Structure formats: structure tokens, C-alpha cells
Amino acid sequence: MMATQRLYLVLFLPVLFSCNRLPEARHSPALPRISPDYCGTVIPCNLAPLNFAVREKGSNFRLRIETPEGDDCVLHSRKGSFCIPASKWKRMLAANADTTIRFHICVKNNR
């Protein structure tokens, strides 16, 4: 019997003064507002990319998908919409079955 392979997604929202310089990042204890809401979702390893939009105010957005195998993916957006490349997503899921993949969402505020 084949064991079901799952990935656990955890979302974080560090609010940034500058998305390009992580040392200045300020972490928020609140989960980000995203649509659709995938927070805390368990997904099968053969699911299509989890594309989504960040519903937070900001002028620039960055998504870092962190994997235990170190095959991280970084995407940038000016409007907060993220479309994960299907080939990259498929490789990440295959290499990280039964582990936790973390989505780090950074938002640049013009304060």
C-alpha cells in the first residue's frame, strides 16, 4: 500500500521597509491575507501550483518558497499576485514529499 505523500504549507508575513534587504525585515505575528486562503493547507504532492494574491497594502511584494531540500524559489510582484512556474513547482513537490514547505511573504510599505 502506497503512503499518501503530503506537504505542509505555513505562511508568514514579514513586513519590510525594503524587500531587497532582509536584515531590515520586521516580522508580523499575523498571517497574511491571501486569496484564495491556503493558510495551514495540506496538499498532495501532485497538485497544480498554488497561485494566489496577497491582500495587504504595499508597493512591492516578494514570495520565497522555502524547502527542506534547499531548492527555494523567489518570486517578485508589484501588485501582489503570484503565479508559480509549473515546472519549478513540480520539481519542488517531488523533492520535498512528506515535508513542510514554507511560504515567506514580504511586503514593501511606502511609509
> Is pTM beyond 0.85 here?
no
Q: Is the pLDDT of residue 15 over 80?
A: no
Which residue spans within 1-111 are E strands per DSSP?
Answer: 6-16, 26-28, 34-35, 42-44, 52-54, 60-66, 73-77, 81-82, 100-108
Q: Is the pLDDT of residue 61 over 70?
A: yes
- Of residues 17 and 26, more confidence is placed in 26
* pLDDT value, residue 71: 83
pLDDT band for position 76 (50/70/90)?
very high
* pLDDT value, residue 41: 82
* pLDDT value, residue 43: 81
